[in-house]
Amino acid sequence: MTSITESADIRQTRSGSDHAIVIVAMVVILAALPWAGIYPFFIMSALCFALFACAFNLLIGYGGLLSFGHAMFLGTAGYVTGHTIKEWGFPPELGILAGTLAATALGFVSGLVAIRRQGIYFAMITLALSQLLYFIYLQTPFTHGEDGIQSIPQGKLLGLLDLSKPLILYYVVLGFFLFGFLVIYRAINSPFGEVLKSIRENEPRAISLGYRTDQYKLLAFILSGTLAGLAGAVKALVLQNASLTDVHWAMSGEVVLMVLLGGLGTIFGPIIGAFIIIAMQQYLAGFGQWVLVSQGVIFVVCVLAFRRGVVGEIAHYLRRSL
C-alpha cells in the first residue's frame, strides 16, 4: 500500500543549502511584492492561509495524519483574538498570543481524543470535533453567530507599529508568517522531525525502537494546531473580522486542497498551493459559480495525475527535496 506521502521523500540530496537558497529567495520576493504593484491585502490574506497550509502539512506530510477538522484551530484563534482585542481592549500582540494559546489548548484537548486512532478514523474524529465546535460557536453569544465579530481594531503593535497602515501591517504579517514557517522548518529538520517521519513510515518499528509514538503524534498535532491558530489570529487582524466561515468544514476541505495542490509533504508546496487557491477565489470571483467547480476539478486532477503537486513535480524534476 503506497503511503500518501511516499512522493515526498525522493532523493534527499544535500538539501540544507538548497533550502536556504529557496528560503532567502522567498523572503526577498515577498518583501518586494508590494513595491511591484501587487495589492498588499491579497498577499497578506494569502500569507495567512499559507501559514495555515504549512501547519496542516506538518501533520499530514510529516506525521501521516490527515486532519479533516483543522478549521477549528483557524476559527477558534480568530474568534479569541477578535474578542480579546475588540471587547477587552488587548493590544494586538497580546490578542494574537491569546488566540494562538487558545488554539494550543484546543490542540491538546482534541489531540488527546483524536490521536488514539489513525487513518480514516482519525480524519473522522477531527471532522466530528470541528463540527461540534461549529455548532457551539453558532450558538454562543461572543461569536455573534453568523454575523461574526466585525470591525476588529488593528491598533499599534508593541505600541509602536501602527497596523492600520497597510505597508506596516504587511511587514508585520510577513514577519509572523516567516516565524511560523521557520518553526515548522526547524521542527521537520530536527530529531523530533526524524522520529515523526519514522512513525509515519512504520509505526510498529518505531515503537519497537522504544519511541513513545503517541506522545510524538500528540506533540505534532498540538504544534500543527498552534501554528494554524497563529495563522487564524493574524488573519483576524488583517481582515478585521472572524466568522463562522472560518470554522466550517468547507474551510478544512480548502486547506487540504491547498496542500494537495502545492505538494503534500514538501516544504514549500503548501505556500504555493495557498497562493494559487486564494488567487483563484479573488481573481476568478467574477466567474461566480465556476470557482467551486474548478476547485473540484483541481482536486480530481491532482489526485489522479498530479499527485506530487506543483512543488513536488518541480522537486522531482530537479531531483531535489523541496
Partner 1 sequence: MKRSLTMLTLTGALLVSASALAQTMDKNVKIGVLNDQSSLYADITGAGSKLAAEMAVEDSGLSGKGWKIEVIAADHQNKPDVGTNIARQWLDVEKVDAIADVPTSSVALAVNNVVKEKNRVFLNSGAAASDLTTTQCSPNTVHWTYDTYLLANGTGKALVKAGGDTWFFLTADYAFGHALERDTAAVVTANGGKVVGVVRHPLNTSDFSSFLLQAQASKAKIVGLANAGGDTTNSIKQAAEFGIVSGGQKLAGLLLFVTDIKALGLNTAQGLNFTETFYWDLNDQTRAFSKKFSERMKNNAMPSMVQAGVYGATLHYLKSLEAMGGNPHDGVKVVAKMKEMPTDDPLFGKGTIRADGRKLHPGYLFEVKKPSESKGPWDLYKLVATIPAEEAFTPIEKSPCGLLKKS
Partner 2 sequence: MGINTQALMAQLLVGLINGSFYALLSLGLAVIFGMLNIINFAHGALYMMGAFVAYFLLNLLGLNYWYALILAPIIVGAFGMLLERTMLQWLTGLDHLYGLLLTFGLALIIQGVFQSYFGSSGLPYAIPKELQGGTNLGFMFLPTYRAWVVVFSLAVCLLTWFMIEKTRLGAYLRAATENPTLVRAFGINVPRMITLTYGLGVGLAALAGVLSAPINQVRPQMGENLIIVVFAVVVIGGMGSIMGSIVTGFMLGVLEGLTKYFYPEASNTVVFVFMVLVLLLKPTGLTGRAA
Contacts with partner 2 by CB under 8 A lie at: 1-4, 66, 113, 116-121, 123-125, 127-129, 131-132, 135-136, 139, 249, 253, 256, 260, 288-290, 292-293, 295-300, 302-304, 307
Among 36, 158, 160, 305, binds partner 1 (CB under 8 A): 36
Residues 6+ apart with CB under 8 A from 157: 91, 92, 93, 163, 172
Q: Which is nearer to partner 2, 110 or 154 (CB)?
A: 110
Stretch 287-316: interaction string toward partner 1, x if CB under 8 A: xxxxxx------------------------
**Minimum distance, C-beta of residue 261 to partner 2, in the bound complex (Å):** 11
Nearer to partner 1, 208 or 289 (CB): 289
Q: How far is CA 233 from its chain centroid? A: 12
Cell numbers found for residue 68 = 479533516
Give ∠ CA 219-2-55 in degrees, rounded to 5.
Answer: 30
- Closer residue to partner 2 (CB): 25 or 132: 132
Is 130 within 8 Å of 247 (Cβ atoms)? yes
**Binding status of residue 142 toward partner 1 by CB under 8 A:** no
Comparison of 217 and 248: residue with beta carbon closer to partner 1: 248
Q: Specify the residue, 12 or 151, whose C-beta has the smaller distance to partner 1.
A: 151
Among 2, 12, 151, 208, binds partner 1 (CB under 8 A): 151
- The count of other CB atoms within 10 Å of the CB of residue 40 is 18
Q: Which grid cell sits at 191?
A: 530529531
Distance CA 34, CA 44 (A): 10
When the beta carbons of 285 and 305 are compared against partner 1, the nearer one is 285
Candidate segments 4-12, 81-89, 124-132, 134-142, binder of partner 1 by CB under 8 A = 134-142
Instruction: Check if the beta carbon of residue 152 is closer than 8 Å to that of residue 242.
Output: yes
Asked if 106 and 225 count as a contact pair (C-beta separation under 8 A), the reply is: yes
Query: Helix (H, G, I), strand (E, B), or coil: what is residue 126?
Result: helix
Residue 270: what residue type?
P
How far is it, in rounded angstroms, from Cα 56 to Cα 276? Answer: 17
Which residue, 123 or 196, is less far from partner 2 as judged by CB?
123
Smallest gap from residue 282 Cβ to partner 1 (A): 6
Binding to partner 1, residues 211-270 (CB under 8 A): 235, 239-241, 243-246
Q: How far is the CB of 287 from partner 1 (least distance, A)?
A: 8
Residue 156's DSSP bridge partners are 162
- Please report how close the Cβ of residue 244 comes to partner 1 at its closest, in angstroms: 7
Q: How far is the CB of 126 from partner 2 (least distance, A)?
A: 10
Chain-centroid distance, C-alpha 204 = 29
Quote the CA–CA distance of 164 and 162 in Å, as a whole number. 6
